[in-house]
């Protein structure tokens, strides 16, 4: 399923933890890991050392990717290393396109408080702009487990959700995992008791989940059907993850283009920020040329 995995790294503790998961994936799939460090050109990094003009960020980047390659070699995983200059998110996305990457794996910042609500982290930009699936891992979340045992697929019945389900089924079949198909009925701030149409919404959600589950069962993968009522889809997903020992969330992105794509608040982005377990986001296939 994955032949070429891209791992952008800055050498931080969070990146180091995520790399363990990358190596688990790569070893299982026989994949080559492309280890990329981006020397961010928005920062001044030129200096003189022992009379030689050097780029400090590039020198540090070489050390980072070499250390990762050594770790991969210990696991018998083949690597390609690269240090590039540019804006971080756009360089990652461009590299994935140029080298036919199957999966980008990136740690999130795991921020807390007000900062977490701000738009613009590297991970969020990569999730929005990538034309290939992105696996986001929170460095301050639970230890990412592999192989996966329980895979959650939130669905609204859309084509994008169906694409995500297909990806999840392939992963689950390989790992012998159970797929949980979930639809969250969002009732906002009104609350279930005060929303007169909630029963009809639940019935529709059950039909959506049943259809997705039927598709999953055709592959022989064990399936759990679930409908939850909550104030928002993202909160419902997080609650289900916490209560059902989920190892991986697989979901479609909105796949929007133009200025709408940069609006804050999609369910996928909120899930990437809040999920304690890895989240695999699958882009709109229209974007995958």
Confidence of residue 119 (pLDDT cuts 50, 70, 90): very low
Which of residues 266 and 252 earns the better pLDDT score? 252
Looking at the fold, whether 218 and 106 belong to one and the same domain comes out as no
3-state SS class at 101: coil
Q: Helix H segments across 109-158?
A: 122-129
Looking at the fold, whether 131 and 190 belong to one and the same domain comes out as no
Residue 213, both tokens: 């589950």
Q: Name the one residue in this structure whose structure tokens are 């995992």.
A: 177
Residue 81, both tokens: 């290393």
Q: Is the dihedral of CA 172, 178, 181, 182 positive or negative?
A: negative
Q: Which of 115, 141, 167 is the last residue of a domain?
A: 141
Looking at the fold, whether 11 and 106 belong to one and the same domain comes out as yes
Residue 231, both tokens: 């104030």
Confidence of residue 287 (pLDDT cuts 50, 70, 90): very low
Of the listed ranges 5-9, 67-71, 80-84, 227-231, the least confidently predicted one is 227-231
CATH code for the domain of 173 = 3.40.50.620
Residue 212 φ/ψ, nearest 5 degrees: -65, -40
Summarize pLDDT for 182-202 with one digit per residue, the tens: 999 987 755 555 556 788 889
- Mean pLDDT over 45-57 rounds to 51
Confidence of residue 47 (pLDDT cuts 50, 70, 90): very low
Contact call for residues 161 and 212 (beta carbons, < 8 A): yes
Q: Which of 124, 141, 158 is the last residue of a domain?
A: 141
Structural domain count, the chain: 2
CB neighbours of residue 59 within 10 Å: 15
CA angle at 93 for the pair 280 and 25, rounded to the nearest 5°: 40
Q: Which domain holds residue 72?
A: 1-141
- Mean pLDDT over 130-139 rounds to 92
Q: Which of 88, 116, 141 is the last residue of a domain?
A: 141
Which of residues 86 and 8 earns the better pLDDT score? 8
Residue 55 φ/ψ, nearest 5 degrees: -100, 110
Q: Is the dihedral of CA 13, 145, 121, 94 positive or negative?
A: positive
Instruction: Give the pLDDT score at 289.
Output: 42
Residue 165, both tokens: 């389900």
Instruction: Give the pLDDT score at 124.
Output: 86
- Mean pLDDT over 133-149 rounds to 85
Looking at the fold, whether 264 and 189 belong to one and the same domain comes out as yes
- Mean pLDDT over 50-69 rounds to 77
- Mean pLDDT over 156-179 rounds to 94
Looking at the fold, whether 118 and 195 belong to one and the same domain comes out as no
Looking at the fold, whether 40 and 112 belong to one and the same domain comes out as yes
pTM, two decimal places: 0.87
Statement: residue 121 has pLDDT above 90: no
Looking at the fold, whether 175 and 281 belong to one and the same domain comes out as yes
Summarize pLDDT for 90-107 with one digit per residue, the tens: 999 999 999 999 999 998
Summarize pLDDT for 10-43 with one digit per residue, the tens: 888 888 889 999 999 999 999 999 999 998 755 5
Looking at the fold, whether 222 and 102 belong to one and the same domain comes out as no
d(CA 244, CA 69) in angstroms, rounded, equals 35
Instruction: Give the pLDDT score at 87.
Output: 86
Instruction: Give the pLDDT score at 59.
Output: 84
């Amino acid at each position: 399923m994955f032949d070429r995995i891209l791992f952008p790294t800055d050498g931080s503790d969070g990146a180091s933890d995520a790399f363990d998961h990358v190596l688990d994936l790569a070893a299982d799939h026989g994949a080559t890991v492309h280890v990329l460090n981006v020397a961010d050109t928005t920062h001044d990094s030129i200096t003189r050392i022992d009379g030689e003009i050097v780029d400090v960020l590039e020198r540090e980047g070489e050390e980072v990717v070499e250390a990762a390659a050594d770790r991969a070699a210990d696991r018998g995983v083949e690597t390609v290393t690269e240090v590039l200059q540019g804006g971080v998110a756009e360089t990652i996305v461009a590299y994935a396109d140029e080298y036919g990457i199957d999966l980008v794996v990136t740690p999130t910042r795991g921020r807390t408080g007000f900062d977490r609500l701000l738009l613009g982290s590297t991970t969020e930009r990569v999730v929005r702009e990538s034309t290939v699936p992105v696996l986001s891992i929170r460095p301050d979340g639970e230890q990412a487990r592999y192989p996966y045992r329980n895979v959650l697929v939130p669905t609204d019945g859309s084509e994008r959700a169906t694409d995500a389900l297909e990806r999840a089924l392939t992963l689950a079949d390989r790992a012998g995992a159970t797929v949980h198909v979930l639809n969250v009925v969002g009732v906002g701030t009104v609350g279930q008791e005060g929303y007169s149409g909630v029963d009809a919404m639940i019935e529709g959600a059950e039909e959506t989940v049943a259809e997705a589950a039927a598709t999953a069962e055709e592959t022989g993968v064990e399936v759990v059907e679930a409908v939850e009522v909550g104030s928002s889809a993202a909160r419902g997903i997080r609650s289900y993850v916490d209560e059902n020992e989920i190892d991986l969330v697989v979901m479609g992105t909105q796949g929007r283009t133009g200025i709408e794509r940069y609006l804050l608040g999609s369910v996928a982005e909120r899930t990437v920020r809040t999920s304690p377990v890895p989240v695999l986001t699958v882009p709109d296939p229209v974007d995958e040329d």
